[in-house]
Amino acid sequence: MKKWNSIYYFLLLLLFTMVFVDCKKTETIFETVTETVTDTLYLNLDPALVAEGKQTFRYDAFGDEAFWSDILHIDKAILGADNGGYGGGVSPATALSVGLKVDAEALPAELVSAIQAGQVDLNDPLTTLELLKLDAVVGVKGNFSNDGEMTSVGITCALCHSTVDNSFSDGIGKRLDGWPNRDLNVGVIISLTDNAQFLADLLHVDAATVVTVLQGWGPGKFNAGLTVDGIALRPDGSIAANLLPAAYGLQGVHLATYTGWGDLTYWNAFVANLEMHGQGNFFDARLNDAGQFPIAAENNFGNVRNSPDLITPKLPGLQAYQLSLTAPTPPAGSFDVAAAERGKELFRGDAMCASCHISPIFTDAGFNLHSAEEIGIDDFEASRSPTGLYRTTPLRGLFARAKGGFYHDGRFPTLIDVIDHYDNHFDLQLTPEEKNDLVEYLKSI
C-alpha cells in the first residue's frame, strides 16, 4: 500500500509540475503574441495555405453562380438586351458608378494603352465582358464557354472586402485586399435582377418593397441579417444596413462581426453559404429559433447541406489569407504626429478608450461583449444577433475605413462625433484640444 501511495504522490507531483510549466509557457507565448500581434510571422502561417486562400478570396465563387445567375439572372443584366440579356446592360462606366472596381494589374499592356488613348468604349457592356474574361472586375467571377460566350456570373469575397488604390484612374488600380469597398452599392447591384419576386417570396413582401429596400442601403452598406430575420427597417422606419467591415488587421481578434456572432472561420462559412449563396455545408442551431430568425428557420438555413461541399475545404486557406492581411499604415502627413502622441496618452488614460480598445489589437482580448447601455446606443442591431450584445470594433487601419462613418451603421459621420458621444456618455469633460488630440491619434493607429 505504501508503495502505491508513493507512486500516486510522485505522479501527482509530476502532473502538477507539467501543468505549472505548461501554464508558464502559455503565459510567455501569450505575452509574445500580444506584443507582436501585428507581425504575421509570429502567426506561423503556412505560405502555401496563404497562397491558396488568396486565390479563394479573390476568385472563388463557391458555386454561387447557381444563385446570382440561375435565380437572379445578374449575368443577363450585365449582358443587356443587345447581347442576349435584358435591360441596358452593365458597361464599365456603369459598373464603376455603383462602386465596382477594376484590377489594373490584370489588364494587358496593350489594353492599358488603348484605354489611355481613348480607344476603348467604356460605355459598352461588351467591354465589361472582356474585363470579366481577364478576371479584372474585383469580386465578380465570369464564366465563359469555349466560344467566348458568358454562361454565368458569381461573386467572391473580394467584392465587398477589397478595393483598389485608384493608381490608374478612379476605381481602377492595384488591389487592396481586406479594405472594405465603401463605394460599393450592393443593394443597387442586386436590384438589377428581373426576378425580385424570388426575394419577395423569401421575405414575404412584394417585389416593389424588395427593390425599394435594396436601393435604400446606399454605398458601402449591406443588411447581412435580412435573409435570416427579415428585418429591413429600423424602429424609426429608416432602412437598416451596416457598413461593410474590413478584413485586415484581424490578428488576435476572436470575434469577427459587429455583434459577435462567431469567430472568423464561422463568419466566413456563414457569409459564403447564406449571403453569397455558395454551395457548401453549414450548421448553426441558433438559426432554428423561429422567433428571432423566422426566415432562417422557415428555410432551414441553420442546416445547409450540399454535395459536393464547395466551401468547407476552402475555409482554412481563406482564414490564413485574411490573417496575413495586416492593417495598412496611415500615409505620412495624414495626421499631426505631436497631437497624436498627446492623444495616445489620453487614449490610455483619462479618455478611458483603452479599457476596451486594448493595444496592440485595439479590441477586447478574448470574447468580451458589451450591452447597448454600456456604450450608450440603441440595441437594435445587437438584438438581431444571438448574443444581444456588441463587440468592441478593432481600430487598426481606421483611416482606410473612415468613408461612410463609424460604428456598425455609420451613425457617427466623423471621429470627433464618436469622441463627443463618449465624452457625453461617460461625462469625461474633455476639452476641445484634447478631443482634437484623440482624433489625431485615432488617425495614426
Query: Where residue 382 sits, what CATH number does that domain have?
Result: 1.10.760.10
Give the model's pLDDT for residue 40: 43
Structural domain contains residue 429: yes
Measure the CA–CA gap between 445 and 441, rounded to whole angstroms: 7
Last residue of a domain, one of 142, 167, 184: 184
Give the model's pLDDT for residue 333: 95
* Residues 6 or more apart whose Cβ sits within 8 Å of residue 261: 255, 267, 270, 385, 386, 387
Can you give the residue range of the structural domain that contains 384?
337-444
Whether the full predicted model's pTM is greater than 0.95, yes or no, is no
Structural domain contains residue 137: yes
Last residue of a domain, one of 135, 158, 184: 184
What is the residue type of 277?
H
Angle between helices 207-216 and 196-203 (to 10 degrees): 100
Structural domain contains residue 143: yes
Structural domain contains residue 142: yes
Give the model's pLDDT for residue 57: 98
Burial category of 405 from C-beta neighbours within 10 Å (exposed 0-12, middle 13-18, buried 19 and up): buried
Instruction: Please list the pLDDT of the chain residue by residue as tens digits (445 residues).
Output: 444 444 334 344 433 333 333 433 333 322 223 333 344 445 789 999 999 999 999 999 999 999 999 999 999 999 999 999 999 999 999 999 999 999 999 999 999 999 999 999 999 999 999 999 999 999 999 999 999 999 999 999 999 999 999 999 999 999 999 999 999 999 999 999 999 999 999 999 999 999 999 999 999 999 999 999 999 999 999 999 999 999 999 999 999 999 999 999 999 999 999 999 999 999 999 999 999 999 999 999 999 999 999 999 999 999 999 999 999 999 999 999 999 999 999 999 999 999 999 999 999 987 899 999 999 999 999 999 999 999 999 999 999 999 999 999 999 999 999 999 999 999 999 999 999 999 999 999 9
Residue 135's CB: how many other CB atoms inside 10 A?
15
Measure the CA–CA gap between 409 and 222, rounded to whole angstroms: 9
Give the model's pLDDT for residue 42: 53
Measure the CA–CA gap between 140 and 132, rounded to whole angstroms: 7
> Is the CA virtual torsion 276, 281, 282, 288 positive or negative?
positive
Structural domain contains residue 323: no
> Is the CA virtual torsion 351, 357, 361, 366 positive or negative?
positive
* Residues 6 or more apart whose Cβ sits within 8 Å of residue 313: none
Structural domain contains residue 139: yes
Structural domain contains residue 408: yes
At 137, give phi and psi (nearest 5°): -85, 110
Structural domain contains residue 46: no
Last residue of a domain, one of 140, 158, 184: 184
Give the model's pLDDT for residue 180: 98
CB half-sphere exposure, 348, CA atoms < 13 A: 8
Measure the CA–CA gap between 282 and 280, rounded to whole angstroms: 7
Measure the CA–CA gap between 340 and 356, rounded to whole angstroms: 19
Residue 355's CB: how many other CB atoms inside 10 A?
11
Contact between residue 385 and residue 242 where contact means Cβ atoms under 8 Å apart: no
What is the domain count for the chain?
A: 2
Measure the CA–CA gap between 203 and 296, rounded to whole angstroms: 10
Cis peptide before 47 (omega within 30 of 0): no
| Cell numbers given for 410 | 455609420
Give the model's pLDDT for residue 41: 43
